[in-house]
Amino acid sequence: MKVKSILAGLLLTLSMSVVANAQLQLNGAGATFPAVIYSKWFDQYKNMTGVQFNYQAIGSGGGIKQITEGTVDFGATDGPMTDQQLSEAKSKQGSEVLHIPTVLGAVVISYNLPGIGKGLNLDGYTLSEIYLGKITKWNDNAIKKLNPKLNLPNKAIVVAHRSDGSGTSFIFTDYLAKVSKDWSGKVGKGTSVNWPVGLGGKGNDGVAGIVKQTEGAIGYVELAYAVKNGIHYANMKNKTGKFIEPSFASVSAAAEGYAKNTPADLRVSITDAGGKDSYPISGYTWLLVYQNMKDGAKAAELVKFLKWSLTKGQAYATGLYYAPLPKQVVKLCEKRIALITANGKKIK
């Protein structure tokens, strides 16, 4: 008798959980960089609406692959899809894929120079020469010129870069390719590139580890990682000639500076942005959604969620070390979201 009632109870709870799960569930996969804020958003959103989002942080490449194969309801990436990838996705899934920016990130240049704390100034071209292996000493004239007040040591520069494919490397190399013809010709931009010099570290912590331990080292890490770990980083000269300290405000400013020139599909790199307060090594991270979804209920929920994330959701950004989207960009995003349909019908 007892066993029976326990079994019955078990069955009941099971069936209840099935009912709960029968509520809407959306699956997504992709970039690791925004995973922290995405899981915060999905958690909050579930508490408010009961709709469950499953997100797997498998990397941008994986996100693009999965949305192309149609195995997820949405994807996520730190580097925009190429035209070729977009047309492949369209031919396989019968729908355009839209890029919706969610938050901004930035890449900072950290360094290890004993006696010099904060306040190293660098510009893009000098940085590219360092990463090309052409500038090899800290007291090189090019660096001295940018830092007349600092007493730069006669020390070899040890270059550190990411060894794993990452959106951070994409933003960084995209910037170098914009400011140096040599870089774009010899190396180019990508999530992994053929680095001319230096040591590779796995992940932000790998690069930060090399920089922290090696006197004379220079490396690039995510702004969020640097802020959380109290790492010194350089001020970068932007297009207007001002040296800008990376911060959430200066990153958002870069997006704002680019808003007017942003193409309608929102696939845009905002490195080397104009505007006097813009930090030049900034970038978006995007959610990838189908323009025409097959499941009406899912489409409606996704649209609702996207709108929420662009408005109220943005308030969580700085607390989790992301830069929020500026208002003009939110407006552009909302225009794109309005394009989403379910089986060709507009979503109310």
Partner 1 sequence: MNNELSDSIKDKLTRKLISSHNMGDFIFEKLTLLFTVSVFLLVILMGYEMYQGSRLSIAKFGWGFLSSSTWDPVQEIYGALPIIYGTVVSSALALIIALPLSIGIAIFLAEIAPDWLEKPVSFLVELLAGIPSVIYGLWGIFVLVPWLRQSVEPYLSEKFGYLPIFTGAPYGFGMLAAVLILAIMTLPIISSISRDVLKSIPYSQREAALALGATRWQSTLIVLKDAKSGILGATMLGLGRAIGETMAVTMVIGNRALISPSLFDPSYTMASVIANEFTEATSQLYLSALTELALVLFVITIVINALARLLVWSMSRKWKTS
Residues that bind partner 1 (CB under 8 A): 32, 58-62, 64-65, 85, 156, 158, 163-167, 187-195, 198-202, 206, 209-210, 213-214
Nearer to partner 1, 66 or 252 (CB): 66
Nearer to partner 1, 102 or 168 (CB): 168
SS (H, E, C) the chain: CHHHHHHHHHHHHHHHHHHHHHCCEEEEEECCCCHHHHHHHHHHHHHHHCCEEEEEECCHHHHHHHHHHCCCCEEEECCCCCHHHHHHHHHHHCCCEEEEEEEEEEEEEEECCCCCCCCCEECHHHHHHHHHCCCCECCCHHHHHHCCCCCCCCCECEEEEECCCCHHHHHHHHHHHHHCHHHHHHCCCCCCCCCCCCEEECHHHHHHHHHHHCCCEEEEEEHHHHHHHCCCECEEECCCCCEECCCHHHHHHHHHHHHHHCCCCCCCCCCCCCCCCCCCCEEEEEEEEECEECCHHHHHHHHHHHHHHHCHHHHHCHHHCCECCCHHHHHHHHHHHCCCEECCEECC
Nearer to partner 1, 60 or 235 (CB): 60
Nearer to partner 1, 201 or 324 (CB): 201
* Helix pair angle (167-179, 124-132), 10° resolution: 110
Shortest CB 162 distance to partner 1, Å = 9
Nearer to partner 1, 75 or 313 (CB): 75
Shortest CB 202 distance to partner 1, Å = 5
Shortest CB 173 distance to partner 1, Å = 8
Shortest CB 64 distance to partner 1, Å = 5
Shortest CB 40 distance to partner 1, Å = 22
Nearer to partner 1, 96 or 164 (CB): 164
Shortest CB 192 distance to partner 1, Å = 5
Shortest CB 166 distance to partner 1, Å = 6
Nearer to partner 1, 63 or 257 (CB): 63
